């Protein structure tokens, strides 16, 4: 049976679907960004403060589990290092590096809310000089996509709440 003039055949492959999804996500992020910048009365500080607390808790768990933010186990210590330290706890000698990420009162902690004009966000990390030397073989600072999504959802909820009030 011949096709009616109004029917269309659409061919879709996995690549074009992925591109469409990426475009849709980018468009959504642009929309959220415009909403946030277009609502200067929305105070995101409580949301960002809560997120910084969340990040500190996550980083404490990375040290407890001896895993990267992505979930990969850290490279084990060399036998000579275990002998020198007297224990096999990875990235812990004095405890300062872990504390600088998990305790906002630590002198090397970086946990700040940024709200300067349209620039809104958080700055998180450590000023501990040892961190940079360990990050490649034992990643210990970072956020996951899931954590970033949680922040985006919290921001969106906060903006929506402000808009409907």
> pLDDT tens across 16-69, in order?
555 555 555 555 555 555 555 555 677 889 999 999 999 999 999 999 999 999
* Better-predicted residue by pLDDT, 116 or 11: 116
Render pLDDT for 99-152 as a digit per residue (tens, 0 to 9): 999 999 999 999 999 887 777 788 999 999 999 999 989 999 998 888 888 988
Domain boundaries, the chain: 42-164
Task: Look up residue 67 and give its DSSP letter.
Answer: B
Give dist(CA 109, CA 52) in Å, integer.
11
């Amino acid at each position: 049976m011949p096709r009616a003039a109004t029917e269309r055949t659409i061919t879709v492959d996995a690549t074009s679907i992925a591109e469409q999804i990426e475009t849709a996500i980018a468009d959504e992020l642009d929309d959220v960004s415009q909403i946030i910048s277009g609502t200067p009365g929305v105070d995101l500080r409580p949301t960002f403060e809560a997120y910084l607390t969340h990040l500190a808790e996550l980083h404490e768990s990375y040290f407890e589990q001896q895993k990267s933010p992505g979930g990969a186990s850290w490279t084990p210590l060399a036998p000579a290092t275990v002998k020198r330290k007297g224990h096999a706890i990875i990235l812990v000698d004095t405890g300062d590096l872990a504390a600088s990420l998990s305790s906002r009162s630590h002198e090397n902690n970086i946990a700040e809310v940024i709200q300067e004009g349209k620039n809104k966000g958080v700055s998180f990390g450590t000023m501990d000089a040892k961190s940079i030397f360990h990050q490649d073989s034992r990643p210990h600072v970072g956020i996951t996509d899931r954590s970033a999504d949680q922040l985006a959802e919290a921001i969106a909820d906060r903006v929506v709440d402000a808009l409907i009030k």
